[in-house]
Amino acid sequence: MDVQFNSLKQEKDHIGVIFCDQNCKLIGFGKKLDQLSKKYISRILNTDESFKIRNSKNFDYLIVHQPENLKLSKLYIFKLKKFKEYQIRDFQILGGHIFSLLSFYKENKVILYPDGIISSKISFINSITELLTGFSLASYRFDKYKKKDTERNKKNKNSLKATKFKVSSSSNTRLEKNYINVKAISEGVSLTRNLVTEPPNVMTPPEIAKNATSLEAYGVKVTVLGEKEMTKLGMGSLLSVGRGSEHESKLAIMEWKGHKNKKKKPLAFIGKGVSFDTGGVSLKPSGGMEEMKYDMGGSGVVVGLMKTLAMRKAKVNAIGVVGLVENHIGNMATRPSDVIKSYSGQTIEVLNTDAEGRLVLADALYYTQEQYKPEFMVNLATLTGAIVIALGNEYAGLFSNNDKLSKQLEDAGKIEDEKLWRFPLHENFDKMINSPIADMQNISYGRGAGSITAAQFLQRFVNRVPWAHLDIAGTTWTKQTLPTSPKGATAFGVKLLNRFVNKYYEGK
């Protein structure tokens, strides 16, 4: 999407997007256009009784064709209900609705006139930046494997051109300067969505690592460990998961040093990257197994987040670590009852090979804290089906050993509407993963508290470092279109963690 920023003006044969309040009173540049049209716009508004009384929707609209005395060929008038109370997420949703409407009508030459949309909760510059973020996120599409669309695009060169979208404002210079934040979020989210959406025969562990390596173009230092290096280090837990696959397991480490003190402890983000999860020898049922391509959602979020931080040159030192495996069946696959030795030295009795994500994270977490001494660690994983039973698709599960870290993550999630719900950790839950023959077993001996015992397992690989585990199994994928996300991969976590970093750690 090509976005240009201009001062307040009209342009011939363009579509204008303006706004009015819930009482149908024009705001911002809409007032000026109404004057130029000799009140033609307000007359249309006042004569459309149905538009005047509709108040059930947060975002309603009216289309004015060929407005008199104006250069603009058409106007979209959005009615905003109580916009002076809008917060960040409201502006993002508004941007998503605007994109959806313009896309539905296949509009091309569009000018947005945002002046006048002033909220008491957020500055004008930030509010329009968030609107543009929502607009950009809603524009995401993944259609690279649709042959008919590809052939149609080749024949119709115009369809390959980006929509010409202009922002006309008295604050155009400041908005343009702030646009890097929109691009950073949009590209980070798009990268995550692409990684999660790609089919598993394409997005293998080496291919995810290759995508992580692409961040070197943005100043990120990337190191990729293969099976030989991980075997030498003793990462038996992670390596046990990928033993049945023809694709080599990888550990990708991404380092961004944006703080003025390059030696300051990094913020660490760790992701589970199971490129496809058959369940291994503990084979999953066939129904729904196709969804297991997004079992690498945690790693996708970490890669996308690192791109976002690098693109906007975040003033932090951050590290992203992703454990990348494919959980398959083969003559070398791990069996239930095998005992493996982790990088930490602790032994694990594997009772269920479908509880594999925790085995990947165990080594990734311990390696991160031992090698990089981070300020804190946040890991993300599509870890348990139990979290979906508990929270559905509205919240991700939060487990932590640190109240401050938890509160910061929860607050950032509320701002971005990527909501978290904290669950308890307790020694009595921890006892449920004790093994009679090893230091621990990878599942509990009971049916209850599946998400909690999984988190207790992870905590055994965390020493005194502040740590949080986000179980995003229910929020990584959506089966319905959302205001800023089409059906499919949501990239839940990229915006949340970017906000978390910016609000609490940027430059400090």
Residues classed as catalytic: 284, 358
- Structure tokens, 470: 């986000």
Cα distance between residue 102 and residue 425, in whole Å: 47
Amino acid at 5: F
Cα distance between residue 240 and residue 457, in whole Å: 16
Amino acid at 12: K
Return the DSSP state at 322.
E
- Structure tokens, 471: 């179980």
Cβ neighbours, 10 Å, residue 4: 12
Which residues have a Cβ under 8 Å from the Cβ of 127 and sit 6 or more positions away? 86, 88, 91, 117, 118, 119
What is the bridge-based pairing of β-strands 59-65 and 74-80? antiparallel
Q: Distance between the two ends of the chain, CA-based, in angstroms?
A: 34
Cα distance between residue 95 and residue 104, in whole Å: 14
Angle, in degrees to the nearest 10, between helices 88-104 and 403-416 = 40
- Structure tokens, 10: 């009209």
Question: Nearest CA to 367 among 448, 434, 270?
Answer: 270
Kindly calculate the radius of gyration of the chain based on its CA atoms and give it in whole angstroms: 25
Q: How far is CA 456 from CA 58, 124, 159, 401, 425, in A?
A: 42, 44, 51, 10, 7
